Structure 1
Amino acid sequence: MDERTVYLFETTKGQLSRYIKIRGDVETTKLSISQDNKELNRQSIQTRLTKYGKEAMINKRVSPHTFRHTMAKRMIVSGVDAFSLMHLLGHIDITVTKRYVNIWGQDLEQKHKLHGALRGLKI
């Protein structure tokens, strides 16, 4: 897997520091560990997220990938350009990024209000 930079908000950094302090010293450099201080594999993380989603009564699929899709859509809706998002997601081709982000009518209308070609013109 290729390495890439992950940008974190200060809030996230703070929560990660808090978690690491609570977790204490362990024999792995991995962030996610089991109760017996062993590395969690991808399947274990997916299983836990599914469990926590059910406990929170979320009726949709809960997974790292759905978090990734949600983040991508929220970034586009908030104004991040598609090419920047493509690089943040680690995609080589914009068509892959395009599949990540489904923008519906209300989102498009909001974008048009913010960035429409005639916005700000005195006609």
Structure 2
Amino acid sequence: MSILDIASSICLLSGATFCVVGAYGMLRFPDVPSRLQAATKPQTLGLLLVLLGVALQLEFGQALGLALVALLQIITAPVLSQLVGRAAYRTGAIAPNTMVVDELELRLAAEDAGDANGASDNQDR
């Protein structure tokens, strides 16, 4: 067994462990923001470690495809988490008393006030 095989095994086992811990966090955490944290951070790191473990066993040309998968995961996971969090906020799935600072409420209130002023301006014309 070579050093490359040992490093690959460690990456694969570590990645699988991170994925299991993330799944367990999604089951155990009480609210949406905590679950989103568990769904994105350890899952992304787990997938990257699994991809690294597999890439260590492949030739360079084949590993480039795995790099593309890793890049797409890194780009899309935070965006998806942000969109799901905002949808949960707008539907009332996030309890307001669990937030320390609620910047989204101020922004939505400003947008609603702007829409109301725009609607009254259109009615005056």
Bigger share in helix: 2
Q: Same fold (TM over 0.5)?
A: no
Under a length normalisation based on structure 2, what TM-score does the superposition of the two structures give? 0.29
Larger Rg: 2
